[in-house]
Structure 1
């Protein structure tokens, strides 16, 4: 096990002491996730955001991504117990998005799994997927050994590999140049070998907002030479390094929900896991914020189908939560959409926080307004709850504040006008300023917003 419980309290103990999971998460003063290791801005966050749409951007991932290293002859059979998705075929130097569901069919987490060697896999993403698999590997009868490589939120020390993305319309010519003028043919979500500045690195082929892109990674000690090569060659392509502020908006480009609340906080089946997690895990420290108010933790969960992972599910085998997920798949009521916030309401809300001493709204920080680790804002129509808004940010590409939301299917048609409640009623968290609830008009748009709207010129 990577962590010892020793004198630390378990998540289950913290829930019991707080009087329930909602009370625990609603009282945490932890704010939104802060990306470690990089400054808020290298230049300015507006141009850094525009770079991955109009030019080329370097997005640093060396410091905030958690890695779980899985080794052994039976890694795939082990993972097949918990992941909903297909593993056959899964050749070496290929990557897959791994999606993990709980016993009740709700989403625990997703992450990217790299098959580096026949018996070596690297899981990369937020810590929730790694933590769940690390726990289960500890008592597994399969031939699998799991080792967690923590991100810099926990400890600032050399890691196994450095990692950054090169994204945007100029990504392909830039990578081609630094790799010596030619690139091996690498298919989507496959991994190729490159030599850059005399160092051997690997490159995952994928892209943002419909353009070619690469995720470059290699031995930790080689990072500076590789980075220097990109920055030197990138001058002619107007390369922008992306700071923490701009990075926090990247999820809106793809319509991906980066940090939905993991479905681990209730149920007898999950109790051993909650007893294993201690007070140093993000699952225990994280905060729940926003205007959606419920005593039932399940009301804050999402399921893999509604957030867009239905096509990945392998229904031909058993896995944790299969039957519950199949029932959810047959009874889907919500659809993932983008909400475009009213410019006038956003401006009025910001003005109220600055100049209205009597009834200020909740502060709208830019580019990412969220106050909590896990954000859930109520979406209303005629006074009735019809959805929940989660990840939100101001997009310098769209020039609107937008959010990714789940909305009842009958109200998910693009152009539908809804109301988002902005604020946190009776907040227990000192990180939230005193405020009054405000209504922000929002319009439903496709998700992902950028592929289907900006790319086709329909705004």
Structure 2
């Protein structure tokens, strides 16, 4: 149904959670080359030398321009905009009326009165909807990810990470780079081509020795910039990274991925669900894992739960503010890393490969072990649910399997032993990437700090 709305699609299911957990969703797709050499060397590079990722294809870029840009962003985002402007960037996030997260993305201040939102489309969809119903004086233009559009991309985007990244960048630039603070932006040239850059870390351990820059410019300059980086990187052991290394990198650095958009159940969201298409991001969104609930709201999360409490500012009015203020003093989950027990992981892998179908464990893929858009695995302590394990996988830098988790305050203690339940209930849900299996328990150790560095 080409013109079916999200609301109409939801009405074909008994409960909203059935569509997201038990619908025939395909496996999470990788938008570009899986490996350039091999994912082990590519992972090691961001800790030892430097790795270069091509991010030009897998993210949407939404351009918003006009006199009401900042007012629109301030009215929808939980971030403060008191000092926002050109060459400023933010991890931008929006909430529903209930204070739960709809989505996150990166916001770039391009010019006065012009910004771009880069990432999955949940944030930009909500912002565009509010712009339309609120009468904001803005113009919105989408540059959709390659998988969703036949049109050529407007910009290229590269990410370079690692202890020798600065050496490579300065050689490609021909001199010292401008000083940048974390999540600061700057402009310079690479191989003579003008570029803009954002300083952040999406791989390895954050810090000055492990510099990370996201670099972009007009697509016409993509090859020129790439060649400048690769040529400069030859001396320093630069390694090109593929999708497997890229998507596993965020687990090391602490990126919890996207929230389940808090839009499916609130009656105040019905008009929005009628506005959204029935074949878009929110309709294709999938949830996997051993945490099973008939109430989709059990999968919603607040900014605090996802370690974004430091971004939330009550210095302005925004959608969801009243609900968030009402719970700001309540206990919230904490983000931690879980180092999985090697023996238990080996037992799961052996069972998934060699036990008869239906009696074996859920296949544990690697280096990235996700089999849905978001992972929600139970974390138990003494058989009691104490949190949720999310992104999981393997990196050579950790030397084992591990995951990011959201756990209660009492569990967020270094060295605490917990159990991750791997696999889904009743032999597995209807997602196409889920084979018939049984659940297994994996012991894990809590760490409040990254497992590398």
Question: Per the shorter chain, which TM-score range?
Answer: over 0.9
**How far apart are 1:348 and its partner, in Å?**
0.7
Q: Separation in 2 of the partners of 1:305 and 1:147?
A: 31
Structural mapping, 1:174-323, within 5 Å: 174-207=168-201, 208=203, 209-210=205-206, 211-323=210-322
Distance 1:168 1:396 in 2: 15
CA distance in 1, matches of 2:409, 2:200: 30
Distance 2:285 2:366 in 1: 21
Corresponding residue SS for 2:307: helix
Q: Are the structure 2 counterparts of residues 331 and 32 from structure 1 closer, same or farther at C-alpha, using a change threshold of 3 Å? A: farther
Q: CA deviation at 1:168?
A: 0.5
1:64-79 correspondence to structure 2 within 5 Å: 64-79=58-73
How far is 1:205 from its partner? 2.1
Question: For residues 358-373 of structure 1, what are the structure 2 equivalents within 5 Å?
Answer: 359-373=359-373
Q: Which runs of 5+ in 1 are unaligned?
A: 1-5
Q: Which residue of 1 aligns with 2:48?
A: 54
In 2, the alpha carbon distance for the partners of 1:216 and 1:64 equals 15
Shift of 1:216: 0.9
Q: CA deviation at 1:156?
A: 4.4
Deviations 1:37-59 (A, max 9, x none): x2110000011111111110111
8 Å contact 2:375–2:391 — kept in the other structure?
Answer: yes
Count how many residue pairs are aligned between Structure 1 and Structure 2. 445
Contact 1:137 1:145 in 2 (8 A): no
**Unaligned runs of at least 5 residues, structure 2:** none
- Note the C-alpha offset of 1:148: 1.8
Cα distance, 1:432 vs structure 2: 0.8
Shift of 1:35: 2.7
Contact 1:29/1:287 (<8 A) preserved: no
2:447 corresponding residue in structure 1: 445
Q: Name the counterpart of 1:106.
A: 100
Question: What's 2:432 paired with?
Answer: 430
SS in structure 2 opposite 1:139? helix
Residue deviations 1:98-153 (CA, integer Å, cap 9, x gap): 12111111111111111111111011112211111122222232221222211112
Matched, 1:40 2:34: yes
Shift of 1:334: 1.8
Instruction: Quickly say closer, same or farther: Cα 1:107–1:32, change in 2 above 3 A.
Output: farther
The root-mean-square deviation of aligned C-alpha atoms, in Å, is 1.5
Cα distance in structure 1, aligned partners of 2:392 and 2:248: 8
Q: TM-score by structure 2 length?
A: 0.95
Could you say what secondary structure the match of 1:153 adopts? helix
Do 2:304 and 2:333's aligned partners in 1 also have CA atoms closer than 8 Å?
A: no
**Stretch of structure 1 that moved more, 380-389 or 220-229:** 380-389
Is 1:130 matched up with 2:118? no
3-state SS in 1 of match to 2:263: coil
Q: Is the contact made by 1:335 and 1:409 (CA closer than 8 Å) also made in structure 2?
A: yes
SS class of match (1:59): strand
Contact 2:187 2:194 in 1 (8 A): yes
Q: What is residue 405 of structure 1 aligned with on the other side?
A: 405
Instruction: Return the alpha-carbon distance in structure 2 between the equivalents of residues 7 and 203 of structure 1.
Output: 38
Q: Which residue is equivalent to 1:173?
A: 167
Which residue, out of 146, 149, 154, partners 1:155?
149
Q: Distance in 2 between matches of 1:428 and 1:206?
A: 38
Q: Which residue of 2 aligns with 1:351?
A: 350
Q: Give the conservation status (yes or no) of the 8 Å contact 1:418–1:444.
A: yes
Corresponding residue number in structure 1 for 2:389? 389
Q: Deviations over 1:293-332 (max 9, x none)?
A: 1011111111101211112222122211112112232112
Q: Distance in 2 between matches of 1:11 and 1:376?
A: 23
| Residue 402 of structure 1: how far off its partner (Å) | 1.1
CA contact (8 A) 1:28 1:288 kept: no
Q: Aligned partners of 2:49, 2:169: CA distance in 1, in Å? A: 13
CA gap of 1:369–1:321, structure 2 versus 1, over 3 A, is same
Q: Distance in 1 between matches of 2:313 and 2:67?
A: 22
- Report the equivalent of 1:3: none
Scaled by the length of structure 1, the TM-score of the pair is 0.94
Q: 1:214, 1:248 → 2: CA distance?
A: 17
1:4-33 per-residue CA deviation (whole Å, 9 max, x = no partner) reads xx8422111111111121011122232443
Q: For residues 409 and 110 of structure 2, what CA distance do their matches in structure 1 show?
A: 40
- In the TM superposition, 1:78-117 aligns within 5 A as 78-117=72-111
Distance in 1, Cα, partners of 2:354 & 2:310:
49
In terms of mean alpha carbon deviation, does 271-280 or 338-347 score higher?
271-280
Residue 188 of structure 1, CA deviation: 2.8
Quick one: structure 1 residues 396 and 32, their matched pair in 2 at CA, closer, same or farther if it must change by over 3 Å? farther
Q: Distance in 2 between matches of 1:309 and 1:191?
A: 21
Q: Which residue of 1 aligns with 2:341?
A: 342
Q: What is the CA–CA distance in structure 1 between the aligned matches of 2:41 and 2:271, rounded to whole Å?
A: 47
